[in-house]
Amino acid sequence: MKIVFAGTPDFAVPALRAAAGKAEVVAVYTQPDRPSGRGRVLTPSPVKRAAQDMGFPVRQPETQRDADVQDALRALKPDLMVVVAYGLLLPQAVLDIPVDGCWNVHASLLPRWRGAAPIQRAIEAGDTETGVCLMQMEKGLDTGPVLLEQRTPIGEQETGGELHDRLAALGAQVLIDGLGLLRVGIRPVARPQPVDGVTYARKLDKAEARLDWREPAQVLANRVRAFNPWPMAEADVAGERLRLHAALALPLAHHAAPGTLLAAGRQGIDIACGEGALRIRTLQRPGGKAITAADWLNARRDLAVPSAQG
């Protein structure tokens, strides 16, 4: 079975390794090298680095719409194309090239959270369960029928980064299961997505990481978890702009204005919200590293506030 793999970020690397263990990977497609870091140095994608380490030929077209690019893919005569967070749209002409079409590993329980940021949006929305789907691709955005799925609970304090890593491994397993069936001549049953329950996970924007204390504490706590490690929630606390790495919503009744520092101690820093309070546990000052709330308070002797209660 000849496979073409298309993916770009870290999330796709376990799936690439899984594909390599089940079939012949004849080419790996990934996005072109992009400027990265303070020096804006051209940097290969995680998938490109992994593919080169494994000895696979790598192709990096700017688009899949060019006839030359499509002809080159057609010349590979792939049985299947596996797509995992590739980041480029595949036109129908590309979807039609592989004998068995194109499969996509998507990090949600479709049709919930179609789109670019399903992991973070699930946490932000307060979902208690998510998973991965192996989907037969069609022209629409994540609209194709689901072949296989795996479900998993979302931990109460699980961050976007932690869930990302778990779902990447789960996605690789779902792909292994699907390829195993295909190798013995069994096509997974394609189940059309239901019409009800469709939601879209729009791309993350750094601007939305700024917290508004007028919102409920639970909403802000979810956002802190979802946006760790990127783009990282930010907020003004006692005159400082801080990045928040970990926080907890408290069902605390108060009459203070949103943004008021209510209490601070070893347990954390309690900030009044539109509803309840947000207890900041781990934070980062500009140019610094992540520290506990207690360490921050040691550097802010000017703050005279009651101790945060357990």
Binding residues for (6S)-5,6,7,8-tetrahydrofolate: 108-111
Strand partners, 279: 248, 270
Round the CA-based radius of gyration of the chain to a whole number and report it. Answer: 23
The pair of structure tokens assigned to 192 is 């059309």
Integer CA distances (angstroms), 290 to 98, 131, 203, 232, 247, in order: 47, 29, 25, 11, 13
Cβ atoms of 258 and 214 closer than 8 Å: yes
Which residue's structure tokens are 């994540």? 142
Q: Which residues are within 8 A (CB) of 288 and not within 5 positions of it... i.e. 6 or more apart?
A: none
Cβ atoms of 228 and 159 closer than 8 Å: yes
Residues in binding site: 108-111
Cβ atoms of 91 and 69 closer than 8 Å: no
